[in-house]
Amino acid sequence: MMEFELNRDTVRFIVDKAHEFHGKDDVSFEEEPEVADEFWSGQVTADFSGDPYYQELKTTIDDLEPDQQVSLVALMWLGRGDFSMHEWPEALKNAGESWTAHTADYLIGTSLLADYLEEGLQQFQVAQSE
């Protein structure tokens, strides 16, 4: 059975905050980031630094330990369909290799973040019930 190391309540809190932030009329991204780099992070921060929804979401993700941020990225990729449940270890490995200090903005810049995280959690629930 695949194990999920991140607290599900924390993920659900992030899902709620992502819905709040991405649901605002003035929040849009021209394209989603491929990597969590300093340029992308600086652009997102400049655009939304005064937004309390952005700040709360960013702070919540930044406050996670790096291994928890890695799990969150892998969960998003799972929910997005980049990996299957059988590929969970590979998703974690790839997320670990791509982790940077800008991971929060990489996640926030994914406009369907909340939906992807919910789908990833659902896949874990299904796998655990089998």
∠ at Cα 44 (52, 107), nearest 5°?
Answer: 85
- Whether 27 maps to a domain, the answer reads no
Q: Is residue 12 part of a domain?
A: no
pLDDT, mean over the chain: 84
pLDDT confidence tier of residue 2, bands split at 50, 70 and 90: low
Residue 63 lies in a domain: yes
82 lies in a domain? Answer: yes
The answer to whether residue 62 sits within a structural domain is yes
Residue 101 domain-assigned (yes or no): yes
Domain total in the chain: 1
> Does residue 25 lie within any of the structural domains?
no
Mean pLDDT, range 40-53, rounded to an integer: 70
> Which pLDDT belongs to residue 1?
46
Domain with 98 in it = 40-129
Task: Give a yes or no: residue 99 inside a domain.
Answer: yes
pLDDT at 101: 87
Number of C-alpha atoms within 13 angstroms, CB side, residue 31? Answer: 4
This prediction's pTM: 0.85
Residue 78 and residue 98: Cα distance in Å, rounded? 15
Top-confidence range, 20-34, 78-92, 106-120: 78-92
